[in-house]
């Protein structure tokens, strides 16, 4: 895997909604999680849990829920205005990319969720 510099990563980051179905080696997942747990947190509390979902059926079920949530969101805001800083072409691309993700999320080989732990739970562990 080719590594890039900090500023190149910051300046070139963008949302990717068209995932490749290629398998992701466990070493890469481990490296991503290792970097994630090193992120700063208030008082170094680290109130997070990471959930890695590789099972195809579970990813399909998660995708169904995601699609239902997206449908609810879209029904509440049927014609959202284009942000003033965004060109019409870019806005249309964003909408079509989001729609594509709603329909194809299950095709991603891994779902990685960053979750917050309940404070009471965190202090009990």
pLDDT band at 123 (very low <50, low <70, confident <90, very high): low
Q: Any residues with CB less than 8 A from the CB of 15 and at least 6 apart, and which?
A: 97
Domains in the chain: boundaries: 6-34+45-78+88-124
Residue 120 has pLDDT above 60, yes or no: no
Whole-number Å distance between alpha carbons of 60 and 20:
16
Look up the CATH number of domain 6-34+45-78+88-124: 3.40.109.10
Percent of the chain scoring above 70 in pLDDT:
94
pLDDT exceeds cutoff 60 at 122? no
Query: 84 versus 119: which is more confidently predicted?
Result: 84
| pLDDT surpasses 90 at 18 | no
Contacts of 95 (CB under 8 A, 6+ apart): none
Query: How confident is the model at residue 111, as a pLDDT?
Result: 95
Q: Does residue 102 carry a pLDDT above 60? A: yes
For 89, residues 6+ apart whose C-beta sits below 8 A from its C-beta are none
Q: Is the dihedral of CA 58, 64, 67, 71 positive or negative?
A: negative
Cα–Cα distance measured from residue 115 to residue 125, given in angstroms and rounded to the nearest whole number: 16
């Amino acid at each position: 895997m080719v590594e890039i510099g900090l500023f190149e990563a910051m300046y070139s980051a963008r949302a990717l909604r068209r995932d490749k179905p290629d398998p992701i080696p466990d070493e890469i997942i481990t490296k991503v999680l290792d970097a994630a747990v090193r992120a700063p947190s208030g008082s170094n509390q680290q109130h997070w849990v990471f959930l890695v979902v590789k099972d195809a059926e579970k990813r399909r079920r998660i995708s169904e829920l995601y699609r239902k949530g997206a449908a609810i969101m879209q029904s509440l805001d049927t014609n959202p205005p284009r942000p003033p800083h965004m060109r019409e072409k870019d806005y249309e691309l964003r909408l079509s990319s989001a729609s594509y993700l709603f329909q194809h999320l299950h095709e991603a080989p891994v779902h990685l969720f960053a979750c917050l732990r309940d404070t009471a739970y965190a202090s009990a562990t």
